[in-house]
Structure 1
């Protein structure tokens, strides 16, 4: 079985689980991408019955990512570590950062085979961006990977990007401990950007989140109070932890009910 876009025979060589939908490929579908399989599309369409505006929620999160990279680039950040980066789509971190700084360096991290292979394809001619095929829940392996050590200098500020990925870590897996390992590796002046699903003001998201138990990536939605401690060791920059459309909106942001985004977003700076 091939993705909807029709890819060559390399897909047959990948270790892709077609029995269960995968969150990275489902998200790709929400964003209008072609790197998803029938099992992913079927799940996504069922999930859309529970949350009819899920594609818009995903789009708002993507816009947040783009604004973050532009803002941090303007602040002089030249290095990015994007954890759980997923399947690349237009306007990914390296494209935005390298628009203004062609020498900006980007390391993506994902363990989904389609995401890794497609990333390697589009980054093949980009000497300043690459992907680590690994599990971001294992910080030591990510930080010591040859791709990471080749591209990133941890003596200089780095932007750690964690967009809609932490809600795929259960409380039992101790996300704060995982974050602490990455935080400790960053030098002062580094940043961390997080977006995270929530049921605050969107109780209907609970049924949607529960549906992910059928996938390879179960979801734990959290309140603002539960998300705030993820920024321990960082100082939140303005406007703090807010809904995605509220984080430094540009002129195109016209949302009158930002709480309907169902996703909190914030950026912290390591002092």
Structure 2
């Protein structure tokens, strides 16, 4: 789910990993005691927040598919949690094509679950770091048609990219490769609404995980030059288009989210 140092097929169980902590907070089973320990140190709003973030992804991906986009590049895929993105969009359009990208060995082990496509569509998986946008784009071109609109999904990912790694530049490189009519679906952790007691950023950092919460204005920079669709840049439970506003709206606000169109 997040950038890491070197790629390896060996799962390091001595240190927590964001993808596995996320899995634990969602009630999954693909995590280890070290991930569970960090998850338990998170405030109760964290579990609600990741669930709301996941629900945002489902609503946004479904909306993009219903607008006619049938190609998706999902970077920072994370451990498969049903429904996966391809299940959501292929239920709407069976011919949809999806490229998943992550760099966590445990996600690689589950890649087969991500590759079960409809006969009409296709899915692919690449083991790569978001900080390798050129590699990601080269691979995506083998499955996706870059002359037609593509939805770029960056869900709960860029807050693991520190400022010195130029998260805005990485995002711009990816977006510059997409044709007009494409869209960016992005969610980003924020501590704008967290109390001092609730803010556990240092807990992550002390566990060896780089975490960079960003303010609303900082997250807005990812959408520079794009056309934000209504309701704009909002918190996760408040984003909806052709589906009802989630009933738990306002329970917690730990992610800024948005969807924007690429216009040339």
**TM-score normalised per structure 1:** 0.88
Give the corresponding residue for 2:129: 135
Matches within 5 A, 1:16-165: 16-47=11-42, 51-123=43-115, 128-145=122-139, 148-165=140-157
Q: Secondary structure at the match of 1:207?
A: coil
1:233 Cα shift?
Answer: 2.4
Q: What is the count of residue pairs matched by the alignment?
A: 253
Q: What is the alpha-carbon root mean square deviation over aligned residues?
A: 1.8
Cα shift at 1:43: 1.5
Offset at 1:150? 2.3
1:265 is aligned to 2:260:
no
1:253 — aligned with what? 246
Q: Does 1:199 align with 2:176?
A: no
Please say if residues 167 and 220 of structure 1, whose CA atoms lie closer than 8 Å, have aligned partners that are also in contact. yes
More off after superposition, 63-72 vs 195-204: 195-204
Alpha-carbon separation, structure 1, partners of 2:204 and 2:237: 24
Alpha-carbon spacing, 1:257–1:159, altered in 2? closer, same or farther (3 Å): same
Runs of at least 5 residues in structure 1 that lack an aligned partner in the other structure: 1-12
CA contact under 8 A between 1:199 and 1:221: conserved in structure 2?
yes
Q: Output the CA distance in 1 between the equivalents of 2:44 and 2:53.
A: 16
Greater fraction of residues in helix: 1
Contact 1:206 1:221 in 2 (8 A): no
Write the deviation string for residues 172-196 of structure 1: whole angstroms up to 9, x where unpaired. 1111110110011000000001111
CA distance in 1, matches of 2:208, 2:225: 31
Structure 1 residue runs of 4+, over 6 Å off? none
Q: Secondary structure at the match of 1:53?
A: helix
- Give the aligned partner of residue 186 of structure 1: 178
Judged with a 3 Å threshold, the aligned counterparts in structure 2 of structure 1 residues 242 and 124 are, in CA distance, closer, same or farther, namely: closer
